[in-house]
């Protein structure tokens, strides 16, 4: 099969088109012919080597965390899926590699694609929608009448989180540039704060939850808008020592995480709020629930640009500009649109 290989870590490192053996599914895996793959900032961070302590992939390896495709074959213990089924997934850590023609994915990570989605649209969903679900539903327990701030609303996670928070009944504020106000209100945002000219910390107060994909000053200032008992959830860090323990990363990394997260944890504690670092995980059951919301129109994928499989390096370069509104997707030759 053809696949895009990362031969060595490095910022702006280009992927190489490689010929690799076709994967063979284990008893609990499904072999999928990939029709489209979504790109994420996580792919860039992995390429750069930023996550080597957490996700120690050994180059060469195939990048990619989102897929939509067709089942080719199933393992002996797999039930519920059959050859020809349209499926989507965020493969679990350690088993990524969606920038390829084929991949074997554990059945627990899969969900059927809603009938109202194209392959490209389905590939834009898994990682960002699971991130939003785990932040807002699982960890945040957002409900009707609550107030939620979602930073960077035009991003992949932000564009889905706005829709999900609104579906859950929350009042939703978001930060973005003013030119994107109409788009964000169309997604369900009640209030759009122009981060270039307005200070969200001077405008908002009494919020139940902040979902933050930014670090530094933005993360620290987010504490001030939360009411007592509120939750600050970061998907960009810094990680907490509990994360190192849960992932089995060892004492040294736990100590490092304790040090680098000390400031934000203290600030949150002093304000009577909680700080959480979320590193999303693959979960086919949650993805099925998300698919149901997509089928009813409660959530829709947001795609900025679609590139061909041959243009994967150009797609990653475009993603790195930070200008994408929603997701960047790569489609394979059989379904390029």
Q: Which CATH number goes with the domain that contains 108? A: 3.90.180.10
Q: Tell me the pLDDT band of 337, cut-offs 50, 70 and 90.
A: very low
Same domain, 106 and 150: no
Q: Is residue 54 part of a domain?
A: yes
CA atoms within a 13 Å half-sphere pointing along the CA-CB vector of 149: 31
List the single range of 118-122, 149-153, 332-336 with lowest mean pLDDT: 332-336
Tens digits of per-residue pLDDT, 173-220?
999 999 999 999 999 999 999 999 999 999 999 999 999 998 889 999
With tokens 């379904």, the residue in question is: 335
Same domain, 236 and 190: yes
Same domain, 76 and 166: no
Same domain, 137 and 115: no
Same domain, 111 and 11: yes
Number of domains the chain contains: 2
Whether the CB-CB separation of 212 and 225 falls below 8 Å is answered with no
Q: Which residues constitute the domain of residue 82? A: 2-125+301-335
Q: Is residue 248 part of a domain?
A: yes
The answer on pLDDT for 335 being more than 80 is no
Domain at 224, CATH number = 3.40.50.720
Q: Is residue 286 part of a domain?
A: no
For position 172, what pLDDT does the model report? Answer: 98
Q: Tell me the pLDDT band of 240, cut-offs 50, 70 and 90.
A: confident
The answer on pLDDT for 147 being more than 80 is yes
Q: Is residue 38 part of a domain?
A: yes
Q: Is residue 287 part of a domain?
A: no
Average pLDDT over residues 232-258: 86
The answer on pLDDT for 160 being more than 50 is yes
Per DSSP, what are the bridge partners of residue 30?
74, 105
Kindly provide the residue ranges of all beta strands, DSSP E only, lying in 116-198, ordered along the sequence: 147-150, 171-176, 191-194
């Amino acid at each position: 099969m053809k696949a895009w290989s990362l031969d060595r870590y490095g910022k702006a490192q280009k992927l190489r088109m490689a010929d690799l053996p076709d994967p063979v599914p284990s008893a609990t895996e499904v072999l999928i012919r990939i029709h489209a793959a979504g790109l994420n900032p996580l792919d860039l961070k992995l390429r750069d080597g930023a996550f080597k302590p957490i996700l120690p992939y050994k180059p060469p390896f195939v990048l990619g965390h989102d897929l939509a495709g067709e089942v080719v074959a199933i393992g002996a213990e797999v039930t519920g899926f059959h050859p020809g089924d349209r499926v989507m997934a965020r493969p679990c850590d350690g088993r990524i590699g969606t920038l390829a023609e084929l991949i074997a994915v554990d059945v627990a990570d899969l969900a059927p694609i809603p009938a109202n989605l194209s392959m490209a649209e389905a590939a834009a969903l898994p990682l960002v929608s699971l991130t939003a679900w785990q932040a807002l539903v699982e960890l945040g327990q957002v409900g009707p009448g609550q107030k939620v701030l979602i930073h960077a609303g035009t991003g992949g996670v932000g564009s889905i989180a706005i829709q999900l928070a609104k579906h859950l009944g929350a009042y939703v504020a978001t930060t973005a540039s003013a030119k994107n106000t109409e788009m964000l209100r169309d997604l369900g945002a009640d209030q759009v704060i122009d981060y270039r000219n307005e200070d969200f910390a001077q405008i908002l107060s009494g919020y139940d939850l902040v979902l933050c994909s930014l670090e530094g000053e933005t993360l620290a200032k987010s504490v001030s808008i939360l009411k007592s008992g509120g939750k600050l959830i970061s998907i960009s860090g810094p990680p907490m020592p509990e994360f190192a323990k849960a992932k089995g990363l060892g004492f040294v990394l736990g100590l490092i995480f304790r040090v680098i997260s000390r400031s934000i944890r203290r600030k949150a504690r002093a304000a009577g709020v909680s700080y959480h670092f979320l590193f999303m995980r693959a979960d086919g059951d949650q993805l099925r629930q998300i698919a149901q919301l997509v089928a009813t129109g409660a959530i829709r994928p947001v795609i900025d640009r679609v590139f061909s499989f041959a243009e994967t390096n150009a797609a990653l370069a475009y993603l790195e500009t930070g200008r994408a509104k929603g997701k960047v997707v790569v489609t394979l030759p059989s379904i390029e649109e």
